[in-house]
């Protein structure tokens, strides 16, 4: 299976620390070697990077580990292929436009016999079950709402749509439109909320420790969502099976 990493904050924050540990799982501490990608929202814009090389060896990933891009919503993915060849068009995260804004999606899992009917506006470029699922979600969101809905309305609609996909197999995913980060767990997904008072964190996959108290203000809030905990000295919360959570401004919004 693949690995997911998401970050949601109340102020633009760089994901260098988390991304550094995460990419080690792309060929060093785990065997997810079939490509990787990351997307950073910046206002109405988006920085989107993908590479078919293993994340631990990719020169593009090395650039991002050294380049502190600041964002309030980040989605990253390292791939272990189940469906689709190892190439750029099958690397997550995938990007589409809806209601005049970017949407970013990454999936961990395998959907068997999944061939949804897709209409004119959303079609996959690659051959993964993941991109087909993303296209169908975008199609159905567009059908359900005439204009940009609120985060609460989108969460309600997603809770109605997601079971129609997850019945085909494992459907752990991250989704963002730059306003919120939605995360769904079929099996394994964890999150961690960092806030005042901040402390030091030690990566599990790399010999690196960061003192967040020295880099943050008391008003900052950051939530990290990941397939498996990234740090050794922090308490991560496991998602319940089939749980969908929206994260806004660094906090989980369940209701």
From residue 194, alpha-carbon distances to 106, 179, 198, 202, 212 in Å are 23, 19, 7, 14, 9
Sheet of strand 237-238, all strands in order from the earlier edge strand to the far edge: 45-51, 36-42, 70-78, 3-14, 221-226, 190-195, 237-238
- Whole-angstrom Cα distance, residue 231 to residue 209? 9
- Closest CA relative to residue 18, chosen from 79, 75, 91, 58: 75
Q: What is the DSSP letter of 93?
A: P
Q: What angle do CA 119, 120, 126 make, to 5 degrees?
A: 85
21 φ, ψ (degrees, to nearest 5): -70, -40
- Whole-angstrom Cα distance, residue 53 to residue 56? 9
- Determine whether 2 is an active site residue: yes
Task: Exactly one of 2, 9, 72, 91 is catalytic; name it.
Answer: 2
- Structure-block tokens of residue 79: 């791939």
Question: Is the Cα dihedral 140, 143, 148, 153 positive or negative?
Answer: negative
Active site residues: 2
């Amino acid at each position: 299976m693949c690995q997911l990493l998401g970050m949601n904050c109340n102020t633009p924050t760089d994901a260098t620390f988390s991304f550094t540990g995460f990419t080690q799982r792309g060929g060093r501490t785990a065997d997810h070697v079939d490509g990787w990608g990351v997307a950073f929202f910046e206002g109405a814009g988006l920085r989107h990077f993908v590479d078919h090389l293993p994340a631990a060896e990719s020169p593009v990933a090395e650039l991002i580990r050294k380049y502190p891009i600041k964002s309030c919503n980040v989605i990253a993915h390292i791939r272990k292929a189940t469906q689709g060849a190892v190439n750029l068009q099958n690397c997550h995260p995938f990007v589409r436009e809806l209601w005049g804004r970017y949407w970013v999606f990454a999936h961990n899992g395998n959907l068997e016999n999944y061939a949804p009917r897709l209409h004119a506006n959303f079609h996959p470029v690659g051959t993964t079950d993941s991109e087909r699922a993303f296209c169908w979600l975008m199609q159905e969101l567009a059908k359900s709402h005439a204009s940009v809905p609120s985060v609460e309305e989108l969460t309600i609609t997603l809770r109605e749509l997601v079971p129609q996909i997850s019945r085909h197999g494992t459907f752990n995913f991250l989704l963002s439109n730059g306003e919120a980060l939605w995360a769904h767990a079929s099996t394994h997904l964890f999150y961690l909320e960092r806030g005042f008072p901040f402390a030091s964190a030690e990566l599990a996959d790399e010999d690196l420790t960061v003192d967040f108290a020295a880099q943050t203000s008391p008003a900052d809030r950051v939530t990290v969502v990941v397939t498996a905990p990234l740090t050794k000295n922090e308490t991560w919360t496991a998602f319940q099976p089939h749980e969908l959570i929206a994260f806004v401004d660094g906090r989980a919004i369940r209701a």
